[in-house]
Amino acid sequence: MALAETPKEQKVTVKQMSWDPVTRIVGSLGIHTEIDFTNQQVLKCWSTSMLFRGFDIFMKGIDPRDAHFITSRICGICGDNHCTCSCLNQNMAYSVKPPKLGDFAFNLAESADFMFDHAIYNDCMANVDYSEQMVKETNPAVLAKAENTPAPHADAHGYKTIADIMRALNAFTGEFYLETLQVARYTREMYCLFGGRHTHPSTILPGGCSANITQQTCTEYYVRLMRYIDYCKRTVPMHDDLYDFFYEALPGYERVGFRETDLVCWGCFDDPDHVDYDYRNMTTWGRHRYVTPGLVFGGELITTDLVEINLAIRIMLGSSYFDDWTDEETFVSQDPLGNPIDKRHPWNKVTLPKPQARDFADKYSWVASPRMEDRRTGKFIANDTGGGPFARQWVTAKAGLVDFGYVKATGESIRMVLPKTGFQPEMELEWKIPPWSNAIERQRARSYHQAYSALVALHNLERALVEIRAGRTKSWSDFTVPDEAISVGFHEAARGVLSHHMVIRDGKIANYQPYPPTPWNGNPRDSYGTPGPYEDAVQNTPIFEENGPDDFKGVDIMRAVHSFDPCLPCGVHMYPTTGKGKVRKVVHTPTGMC
Amino acid sequence: MATFEISPNQATTEAVEAHVLWITVGLSCEGDSVAMTSATNPSLEDIITGNIPGMPKVVIHNQVIAYEVGQEYIQAWFDAEQGKLDPFVLVIEGSLGNEKINGDGYWTGFGVNPSNGQPITVNEWVDRLADKAAAVVAVGTCATYGGIPAMKNNPTGAMGVRDYLGWNWKSKAGIPIVNIPGCPAQPDNMTETLVHLVFALAGMAPVPELDDAGRPVTLFGRTAHESCNRAAFYESGNFATEYGDDHRCLVKLGCKGPVVKCNVPLRGWQSHMGGCPNVGGICMACTMPGFPDKYMPFMDEDPNGKRSSQVAKFTYGPILRWARGQSIKRKYDKEPAWRHNDAELTTGYQKRW
């Protein structure tokens, strides 16, 4: 989307505005912008964060069996996603296939994590931007309209007007906010039944799950799951009403957080009947996942092949503080299928940090820029994860591969059947691929994904019970660690793609490169000058807030950023961010940046 | 009608306003803040809404849950520095990098220094606020002892809060740094200790007694093994041989519970559910000062545990198990002989009819 064109003689008020730290996310994120208040448009955006621990440095040389315990600690909200991804990765390296019950345990734990994460993030964090208190402070006219707008699905969720929904989302006092805090607890109890603890699990291992899984485990999971499905029957229609109202009340709101539909999804939840964790068969078992992997350029689904996806990943430097690794050792020259592996691929990435002053015209971040190669053009695209659910559902819907009764992907939509629960009859939901990739649709997809995750859980629970009732109660398989191996784990964190690439030499870790969702979304301009997705989405955002520059809160910008579900410990687990030296060459000098 | 007071001077103590300034972005993953939202004894809402009689009003400043964004959020931190928020408890999550070794760079920070536009490091926040805080609490193993970011070969020189401020450091109220280790810390351990401290600051409770490693004795007085529901299997020399479908003691599969101070087997992970050895996960010692290096590789048996478990396995263990099994089988699994439907009363009662 082009920036606002302004006649030369017009006096334009451009202000530098910063939000540092951005709250209601996990991690340290600063958003720095230039805003044209005359034309109500963001002109420039830089996203920064400030944290360095050095996981890939101190993991070198350790026993590969420690990888999941250590990498879990990369992130405090997707730690279990990291742990699981690392175990999938180790399963490939050790050529071990867990018993079916072990695979189901992974799916049941991870789907419970999504149920928890999407619930707490939507209604205790991101949707606070749409709460009565916030809308009152930023758009009183919109709140007035909401007071007089009946909620179309009032029968389903019980709130008569849109303003009633907004009130229910008020932080620490709203009824739905408080209920969701409670929901976010019993869903974590569900996680603990298979994972032991949240967010750094104790029972998720290479080879399977070490929880003692019994009928009792399943019963305790079952009752909570059905309660959650009941909750979804209220939450999805409520969110639909709220988000649709914003399109109606503020024409043009689809441009908030808008960017090209360039998406990545690695898929998740393996079907034990198909997965063997062998790289050479990854194309096939990847397509049997309960969430389909896929690569999307410009609104077109390019592939669902995990091998092809693996080959297309590139790590760029550009605006980040690293020396290139072109002269360093090449760990992997070809994959197990004989395909050539690029020097810029994660398997060959060598981290060569070079701290230096922050210069917004040149280098200004320690986050490298992951890109996907478009083989048709040879270009490198800044794909985003849509905050997780948006890309997962977009790809799954389009691919049309998933069909397990409760959920069916149609090619253009996903149909879900929520069975009868304690308080409500059966309900059908349909998520249709929206015409835009924007803030509202990322939020809406997250809401539908709560239901999607619950139905994946229900299906896997039923299959796990078949195993237990047949007496097949083993959930872990033994293995030995080979001297040499290369492997990859592809998984989804709640907020999007997660990959772990590993090289084992002499039985120890020679290289371990985790790429979580936030490097994909929160990266800076790359070596071609392409901005990262946060920056891109904020730069496309028009300003609808009624406040002027003096009491500006930036709610539209916060909605754009929050829609990606930022999680900064993941984003910058490997590198320090901006240096604290003086800026040498100042082109733009937004507040707090020089 | 006069308000009924459940605790002494309730109206007075509830009128006190105490702030909790929670630094979430030390060298951490913020798992402690996320875990805190799952606490139920007490919960976040219990604290914010003053659900506990007599508890001073608590205002929590934590990035993960705050309504305010950017400058509106950070203002409270500057206010605390200027003495405008008093009393406050400073909670630190994440380890502290050594900022003396990185030249012009920095390891972690939040907020912007108005004087030079640069980020304010977490260490600088600690320097600005520690002396003004009524108490300093380190939550999670990163903040208490360094944890994962402080493992061997780390580039940041990461350390715990006591390593940074000094092991004998005390707040202006005379309280040593309270350590609540765990990776992450068990949710209720955090909220309960915070409430305990707030009561202590209001003069209504003693300051929590701490052990030599700075941990509240009531929470960390026992080992994981001493609270574990599988410990009896150790006693009888009966050990699990594979993960998962084997409910016996896990020490031979790498569980470090016998040498780890932790109450998770007792308290569960949340709402008394989940945990580690009690549900089948090996204890990886995540609450300990020696974590992680001294316990790696985690899935291998601890050398000392190996010796003592061998003794249990090959000496008294099988005898205990056999003897108990026999007495259960022969005696306690059988009902007394007088419970029958015969035409004779054999309970010992002498009939009078």
Percent of chain B topping pLDDT 90:
81
Contact B138, B177 (CB under 8 A): yes
Contacts of A476 in chain B (CB under 8 A): 242-245
Q: For helices A100-124 and A175-195, give the axis angle rounded to 10 degrees.
A: 160
Range of weakest confidence among B79-88, B106-115, B138-147, B199-208: B106-115
Q: Which residue in chain B is spatially nearest to A471 when comparing CA positions?
A: B245
Q: What is the tens place of the pLDDT at every residue in A436-494?
A: 999 999 999 999 999 999 999 999 999 999 999 999 999 999 999 999 999 999 999 99
Contacts of B183 in chain A (CB under 8 A): 73, 200
Q: Which residue in chain B is spatially nearest to A61 when comparing CA positions?
A: B153
Contacts of A172 in chain B (CB under 8 A): 45, 48, 67
Name the band, by pLDDT with cuts 50, 70 and 90, for residue A6: very low
Q: Select the residue of B68, B153, B269 nearest A23 (Cβ to Cβ).
A: B68
3-class DSSP string for B129-198: HHHHCCEEEEEHHHHHHCCHHHCCCCCCCCECHHHHHCCCCECCCCCECEEECCCCCCHHHHHHHHHHHH
Model confidence at A29: pLDDT above 60: yes
Name the band, by pLDDT with cuts 50, 70 and 90, for residue B295: very high
Contacts of A355 in chain B (CB under 8 A): 102-105
- Are the Cβ atoms of B31 and A76 closer than 8 angstroms? yes
Q: What is the tens place of the pLDDT at every residue in A334-379?
A: 999 999 999 999 999 987 776 666 666 776 676 778 999 999 999 9
pLDDT at residue A234, as a whole number? 97
ipTM surpassing 0.90: yes
Q: Which residue in chain B is spatially nearest to A127 when comparing CA positions?
A: B67
pLDDT at residue A309, as a whole number? 98
Q: Which of B38, B156, B241, B282 to mutate to test the interface with A (most CBs of A within 10 A)?
A: B38
Model confidence at B297: pLDDT above 60: yes
Contacts of A200 in chain B (CB under 8 A): 31, 183-184, 286
Q: How confident is the model over B319-339, as a mean pLDDT?
A: 95
- Are the Cβ atoms of B269 and A196 closer than 8 angstroms? yes
Q: Select the residue of B152, B243, B270 nearest A192 (Cβ to Cβ).
A: B270
Model confidence at A1: pLDDT above 50: no
Contacts of A58 in chain B (CB under 8 A): 151-155
Percent of chain A topping pLDDT 90:
78
pLDDT at residue B177, as a whole number? 98
Q: Which of B101, B125, B245, B272 to mutate to test the interface with A (most CBs of A within 10 A)?
A: B245
Which of A322-326, B54-58, B185-189: highest mean pLDDT?
A: B185-189
Using CA atoms, how far apart are residues B8 and A124, in angstroms rounded to an integer? 35
Q: How confident is the model over A383-393, as a mean pLDDT?
A: 97
pLDDT at residue A583, as a whole number? 28
- Are the Cβ atoms of A54 and B154 closer than 8 angstroms? yes
Q: Can you point out the beta strands (E) in A278-342? A: 294-297, 300-303, 313-316
Q: How confident is the model over A93-114, as a mean pLDDT?
A: 98
Buried b (16+ CB within 10 A) or exposed e, A341-357: bbbbbbbbbbbebebbb
- Are the Cβ atoms of B297 and A19 closer than 8 angstroms? no
**β-pairing verdict for B57-62 and B17-23:** parallel
Cα A91 to Cα A94, A270, A293, A454, A584, distances in angstroms: 5, 13, 19, 26, 48
Range of weakest confidence among A298-302, A364-368, A385-389, A510-514: A364-368
Q: How confident is the model over A2-19, as a mean pLDDT?
A: 68
Model confidence at A200: pLDDT above 90: yes
Tell me the CA end-to-end span of chain B in Å, nearest whole number.
64
pLDDT at residue A580, as a whole number? 30
Contacts of A30 in chain B (CB under 8 A): 112, 119
Helix (H, G, I), strand (E, B) or coil at A284: helix
Model confidence at B107: pLDDT above 90: no
Q: How confident is the model over B285-299, as a mean pLDDT?
A: 97
Under 8 Å CB pairs connecting chains A and B tally to 284
Name the band, by pLDDT with cuts 50, 70 and 90, for residue B71: confident
Q: How confident is the model over B331-345, as a mean pLDDT?
A: 96
Q: How confident is the model over A242-254, as a mean pLDDT?
A: 97
Contacts of A134 in chain B (CB under 8 A): 67
Top pLDDT among B312 and A580 is at: B312
- Candidates A480, A485, A370, A390; CA nearest to A431 is A390
Model confidence at B73: pLDDT above 80: yes
pLDDT at residue A579, as a whole number? 28
Q: What is the tens place of the pLDDT at every residue in B218-246?
A: 999 999 999 999 999 999 999 999 999 99
What's the pTM value of the predicted model, to 2 decimals?
A: 0.94
pLDDT at residue A593, as a whole number? 27
Q: What is the tens place of the pLDDT at every residue in B123-182?
A: 999 999 999 999 999 999 999 999 999 999 998 999 999 999 999 999 999 999 999 999
pLDDT at residue B203, as a whole number? 85
Model confidence at A3: pLDDT above 50: no
Contacts of A181 in chain B (CB under 8 A): 37, 43-45
Enumerate residues 201 to 240 of chain B having a beta carbon within 8 A of any beta carbon in chain A.
none
Q: How confident is the model over B3-29, as a mean pLDDT?
A: 86
B302 and chain A in contact, CB less than 8 A: no
Q: How confident is the model over A117-140, as a mean pLDDT?
A: 97
Helix (H, G, I), strand (E, B) or coil at A238: helix
Model confidence at A577: pLDDT above 50: no
Query: How close does chain A come to B234, measured CA to CA in Å?
Result: 17
In chain A, the domains with their CATH numbers are: 14-571 (1.10.645.10)
- Are the Cβ atoms of B118 and A197 closer than 8 angstroms? no
Range of weakest confidence among A380-394, A510-524, B320-334: A510-524
In chain B, the domains with their CATH numbers are: 10-220 (3.40.50.700), 225-332 (4.10.480.10)
Q: Which residue in chain A is spatially nearest to B182 when comparing CA positions?
A: A200
Using CA atoms, how far apart are residues A209 and B245, in angstroms rounded to an integer? 9
Model confidence at A581: pLDDT above 50: no
Name the band, by pLDDT with cuts 50, 70 and 90, for residue A57: confident
Cα A100 to Cα A148, A167, A275, A404, B18, distances in angstroms: 53, 45, 10, 17, 52
Percent of chain A topping pLDDT 70:
92
B149 and chain A in contact, CB less than 8 A: yes
Query: How close does chain A come to B243, measured CA to CA in Å?
Result: 5
Model confidence at A159: pLDDT above 60: yes
Helices (H), B202-287: 217-220, 231-235, 264-267
